[in-house]
A and B are shown apart, each in its own frame.
Chain A
Amino acid sequence: MRVSVVLRYVGTVMLCLAAFMMMAAGMSYMNGMDSGFYPLLLSALLTLTLGAFPLLFVPKAMAITNKEGFAIVVGSWVLACIVGMFPYLIWGGEFTLVNAWFESVSGFTDTGATILNDIEQLPDGLLFYRTSTNWIGGVGVVMFALVILPSLGASKMSLSNVELSSLAKNNYRYRTQMIIRILLVVYVGLTVITTLLLKMAGLRWFDALNHAMSACATAGFSTKNASIAFYDNVVVEMILVAAMLISSIHFGLIYATFLRKGNNIFRSEIVRIYLVIIGISTLLVTISLLDAGVYTTIWDSLRYSFFQVVSLITTTGYATADTNMWTPFAIVILIFVSVIGACAGSTSGGMKVDRLLLFCKLLWARIRRQQHPNAVIRIRVDGVAQEADMLNNVVVFIVTYIALILFATITNTMFGQDLMTAFSSAVSCIGNVGPGFGEVGSMSNFSQIPAILKLQDSFLMLMGRLEIFGFIQLFFLKWWR
Chain B
Amino acid sequence: MPLIKESVMRGLGKRVTIGFLSIVGLLLASGIISLFELGNMSNDTESILSASRRNMEMAKDMLKSAHEHSQAVLHIALFDENSYRDVCRRTMGDLEGKVATIRNEAVDASRLDSLSSAVATLREVADNFLSTPKAPIAPAVPVVPQNDTLVVMLPVDVVAQPAASKGGMEWYDDNYKVAYDNLVDEIQEFMTHIHSSLAPRAEQLNKNAYRSVAPVLISLVVLIAIVLMFYYFIAVYCVKPIAKINKSLSDYMSYRLPFSIKDDLLDELKELVDNIERLVGLSKQNRQ
> Taking beta carbons and an 8 Å cutoff, which residues of A are in contact with B?
3-4, 7, 38-39, 41-43, 45-46, 49-50, 52-54, 56-59, 86, 89-93
Distance between Cα atoms of A54 and B40 in the complex (Å): 36
Question: Which of A39, A49, A90 makes the CB contact (< 8 A) with B226?
Answer: A49
Q: Please determine whether B215 and A54 come into contact, CB atoms closer than 8 angstroms.
A: no
Knowing A4-B233, A46-B26, the reply to whether A92 touches B210 (Cβ < 8 A) is yes
Question: Which of A3, A46, A56 makes the CB contact (< 8 A) with B18?
Answer: A56
Question: Which of A43, A49, A54, A58 makes the CB contact (< 8 A) with B22?
Answer: A49
Q: Please determine whether B33 and A54 come into contact, CB atoms closer than 8 angstroms.
A: no
> 30 A-B contacts, Cβ less than 8 Å apart?
A4-B237, A38-B36, A38-B37, A38-B215, A42-B29, A42-B30, A42-B215, A42-B218, A46-B218, A46-B219, A49-B22, A49-B222, A49-B226, A50-B225, A50-B226, A52-B22, A56-B15, A56-B18, A57-B15, A57-B19, A57-B233, A57-B236, A59-B266, A89-B218, A90-B211, A90-B215, A90-B218, A92-B207, A92-B211, A92-B214
Q: Please determine whether B222 and A54 come into contact, CB atoms closer than 8 angstroms.
A: no
> Taking beta carbons and an 8 Å cutoff, which residues of B are in contact with A?
15, 18-19, 22-23, 25-26, 29-30, 33, 36-37, 207-208, 210-211, 214-215, 218-219, 222, 225-226, 229-230, 232-233, 236-237, 264, 266
What are the residues of chain B within 8 A of A41 when measuring CB–CB?
33
Given A3-B232, A46-B30, 8 more pairs with CB closer than 8 A: A4-B237, A39-B211, A46-B218, A46-B219, A49-B22, A53-B233, A56-B15, A92-B207
- Chain A residue with Cβ nearest B226: A53
What are the residues of chain B within 8 A of A57 when measuring CB–CB?
15, 19, 233, 236-237, 266
Q: Please determine whether B26 and A45 come into contact, CB atoms closer than 8 angstroms.
A: yes
Distance between Cα atoms of A38 and B29 in the complex (Å): 10
9 smallest CB-CB distances across A and B, nearest first, come from: A57-B233, A92-B211, A46-B222, A90-B214, A56-B15, A92-B207, A49-B22, A92-B210, A38-B33
What are the residues of chain A within 8 A of B25 when measuring CB–CB?
49
What are the residues of chain A within 8 A of B266 when measuring CB–CB?
57, 59
Q: Please determine whether A58 and B36 come into contact, CB atoms closer than 8 angstroms.
A: no
Question: Which of A38, A54, A93 makes the CB contact (< 8 A) with B233?
Answer: A54
Q: Please determine whether B264 and A59 come into contact, CB atoms closer than 8 angstroms.
A: yes
What are the residues of chain A within 8 A of B222 when measuring CB–CB?
46, 49-50
Knowing A4-B233, A53-B230, the reply to whether A86 touches B218 (Cβ < 8 A) is yes
Knowing A46-B222, A89-B218, the reply to whether A53 touches B211 (Cβ < 8 A) is no
What are the residues of chain B within 8 A of A58 when measuring CB–CB?
233
Distance between Cα atoms of A38 and B208 in the complex (Å): 13
Main secondary structure of the interface of A (DSSP, over half): helix
Closest CB in chain A relative to B216 CB, distance in Å: 10
Q: Please determine whether B19 and A53 come into contact, CB atoms closer than 8 angstroms.
A: yes
Distance between Cα atoms of A50 and B218 in the complex (Å): 12
Q: Please determine whether A42 and B33 come into contact, CB atoms closer than 8 angstroms.
A: yes
Distance between Cα atoms of A92 and B37 in the complex (Å): 12
Distance between Cα atoms of A91 and B210 in the complex (Å): 9
Closest CB in chain B relative to A57 CB, distance in Å: 4
- Chain A residue with Cβ nearest B222: A46
Closest CB in chain B relative to A93 CB, distance in Å: 7
Distance between Cα atoms of A7 and B222 in the complex (Å): 15
Distance between Cα atoms of A246 and B116 in the complex (Å): 59
What are the residues of chain A within 8 A of B232 when measuring CB–CB?
3-4
Q: Please determine whether B236 and A4 come into contact, CB atoms closer than 8 angstroms.
A: yes
Distance between Cα atoms of A38 and B264 in the complex (Å): 40
Distance between Cα atoms of A62 and B186 in the complex (Å): 78
Q: Please determine whether A54 and B214 come into contact, CB atoms closer than 8 angstroms.
A: no
Knowing A56-B15, A57-B237, the reply to whether A7 touches B229 (Cβ < 8 A) is yes
Distance between Cα atoms of A39 and B237 in the complex (Å): 34
Closest CB in chain B relative to A81 CB, distance in Å: 15
Distance between Cα atoms of A3 and B240 in the complex (Å): 15
Q: Please determine whether B26 and A49 come into contact, CB atoms closer than 8 angstroms.
A: yes
What are the residues of chain B within 8 A of A42 when measuring CB–CB?
29-30, 33, 215, 218-219
Closest CB in chain B relative to A40 CB, distance in Å: 11
Closest CB in chain A relative to B242 CB, distance in Å: 15
What are the residues of chain A within 8 A of B18 when measuring CB–CB?
56
Closest CB in chain B relative to A135 CB, distance in Å: 24
Closest CB in chain B relative to A465 CB, distance in Å: 23
What are the residues of chain B within 8 A of A39 when measuring CB–CB?
211, 215
What are the residues of chain B within 8 A of A86 when measuring CB–CB?
218
What are the residues of chain B within 8 A of A54 when measuring CB–CB?
229, 233
Closest CB in chain A relative to B214 CB, distance in Å: 5
- Chain A residue with Cβ nearest B206: A92
Closest CB in chain A relative to B207 CB, distance in Å: 5
Q: Please determine whether A89 and B264 come into contact, CB atoms closer than 8 angstroms.
A: no
Q: Please determine whether A91 and B236 come into contact, CB atoms closer than 8 angstroms.
A: no
Q: Please determine whether A56 and B19 come into contact, CB atoms closer than 8 angstroms.
A: yes
Closest CB in chain A relative to B205 CB, distance in Å: 12
What are the residues of chain A within 8 A of B23 when measuring CB–CB?
49
Distance between Cα atoms of A43 and B26 in the complex (Å): 10
What are the residues of chain A within 8 A of B237 when measuring CB–CB?
4, 57
What are the residues of chain A within 8 A of B226 when measuring CB–CB?
49-50, 53
What are the residues of chain A within 8 A of B218 when measuring CB–CB?
42-43, 46, 86, 89-90
Distance between Cα atoms of A236 and B42 in the complex (Å): 45
What are the residues of chain B within 8 A of A91 when measuring CB–CB?
211
Closest CB in chain B relative to A44 CB, distance in Å: 10
- Chain B residue with Cβ nearest A54: B229
Closest CB in chain A relative to B44 CB, distance in Å: 12
- Chain B residue with Cβ nearest A11: B229
What are the residues of chain A within 8 A of B214 when measuring CB–CB?
89-90, 92
What are the residues of chain A within 8 A of B30 when measuring CB–CB?
42, 46
Closest CB in chain A relative to B199 CB, distance in Å: 17
Distance between Cα atoms of A3 and B219 in the complex (Å): 23
- Chain A residue with Cβ nearest B233: A57
What are the residues of chain B within 8 A of A45 when measuring CB–CB?
26, 29
Closest CB in chain A relative to B52 CB, distance in Å: 23
Distance between Cα atoms of A8 and B279 in the complex (Å): 34
Most-contacted residue by chain A among B37, B207, B225, B229 (CB, 10 A): B229
Q: Please determine whether B22 and A53 come into contact, CB atoms closer than 8 angstroms.
A: yes
Closest CB in chain A relative to B250 CB, distance in Å: 27
- Chain B residue with Cβ nearest A91: B211
What are the residues of chain A within 8 A of B207 when measuring CB–CB?
92-93
Closest CB in chain B relative to A478 CB, distance in Å: 18
